[in-house]
Structure 1
Amino acid sequence: MNHENPARAQPGPASPPAVWGPLPALPATLRPHRNFLTYSALESLLLGPAFWVKLLYSYFRYRTLVYEVDEEGITMRWGIFFRREVSLTYARIQDIHLTSNVVERWLGLARIQVQTASGSAKAEMIIEGLQFFEPLRDFLYDRMRGSRPRLGTAPPHELSRGASPEAATLEELTATLREVASEVRALREALRPSSGGSRAD
């Protein structure tokens, strides 16, 4: 038992998936992996002589980026002088996309693009810098589906009016039977005079 504790305490790329499989203990605070800073440094080199500006920004973003996951949703915070925060509840999530380029795959990273029903083509939140992106994506999918009503059920505001799907079907069947009965009565009324006239002759 004692020889396993130092291995658990050592940080490494394999430790986050062990924490996140199958589901995390909520609330959870997540920070980007150090490979995210490496990727940002390689990306800043594409800017040429002004690469240090992007590198400085990427460093402070890496140091301040935090994801907080709880029972209600996920919150993303970053920034020093201008603190930014994006919060999403699971009920607002409409779709989730997982993307990664060649360098990100080499570093074991990917981006989780979370889209909402805001009408914008851009993702409402981009979760990046995490190496356990697939368990996190599956977790968000499960929470997204669990926060919505199941298919084939009426919305809560319609159910509160006292009309259930079974009651609506029964009312339709009753109305149809009443129409058939009225047509049968009308047909009988139409046949009675002709049969009476033949008897008189």
Structure 2
Amino acid sequence: MPETQNDSAFDATKITRPAPVLLTYYVLVSVPSLFLALPLLWFRFLTLRYTFDHEGVSMRWGLLFRKEILLTYRRIQDIHLTRNLVQRWFGLATVGIQTASGSAGPEMSIEGILEAEPLRDFLYQQMRGARGETELPNDASGKPVSLGHGTNTTELLREIRDHLARINRLPEDQQ
């Protein structure tokens, strides 16, 4: 399996194309159809482009009939990471992005991603940031309260309780 970068070095804005191994995956997927689907999958691979910017994510593909999907981070409701047996063998994954559109499937499926977990984390971070959910309270010294990664609800509530207790003990001139 290919190595993945650590989370601090991951930059989703540099993802513009699927990994080249996706073409090999498409060849294997087209075997049951006696390679009839291969030309369509090959053109999809050649034209598939991703763009991650500060407003959202877009995906476009197509040779004769161009298709483009643009999702702002505010519209994202849920993100799913899927891998079948062959995708795991190649180190690939599909990141499915769902919105409140009412459809059963994902609104956008980002295929051919080698660094799926960091991409999913990036999308969750952008999704929460677009809704204003990432701001942390400050402690008495003005520093943001660290909630830690993977904090469970009980620990989070205790930290909020302790933070409020510290605020209530401060003299009025420091509040």
Structure 1 length normalisation: TM-score?
0.61
**Structure 1 gap segments, 5+ residues each:** 1-12, 152-201
Summarize the Cα distance change of 1:99–1:38 in structure 2 as closer, same or farther, 3 Å threshold: same
- How far has the Cα of 1:22 moved from its partner? 3.9
1:39 alignment partner, one of 13, 25, 32: 25
Equivalent position SS for 1:97: strand
Summarize the Cα distance change of 1:128–1:21 in structure 2 as closer, same or farther, 3 Å threshold: farther
Say whether 1:68 aligns with 2:55.
no
**Structure 2 gap segments, 5+ residues each:** 135-175
- How far has the Cα of 1:112 moved from its partner? 0.5
Runs of 4+ in structure 1 deviating by more than 3 angstroms, as ranges, are: 17-23
> Residue deviations 1:139-176, cap 9 Å, x none?
0010011111449xxxxxxxxxxxxxxxxxxxxxxxxx
* Structure with bigger gyration radius: 1
Equivalent position SS for 2:87: helix
| Cross-structure match for 1:113 | 96
2:84 alignment partner, one of 98, 101, 104: 101
1:72-91 matches, cutoff 5 A = 72-91=55-74
2:11 alignment partner, one of 13, 21, 24: 24
| Cross-structure match for 1:58 | 41
| Cross-structure match for 2:118 | 135
Summarize the Cα distance change of 1:47–1:99 in structure 2 as closer, same or farther, 3 Å threshold: same
Residues in 1 aligned to 2:109 and 2:94: alpha-carbon distance in whole angstroms: 6
More helix by share: 1
Summarize the Cα distance change of 1:72–1:143 in structure 2 as closer, same or farther, 3 Å threshold: same
- How far has the Cα of 1:130 moved from its partner? 1.3
Residues in 2 aligned to 1:150 and 1:25: alpha-carbon distance in whole angstroms: 20
Alignment RMSD, CA only? 2.1
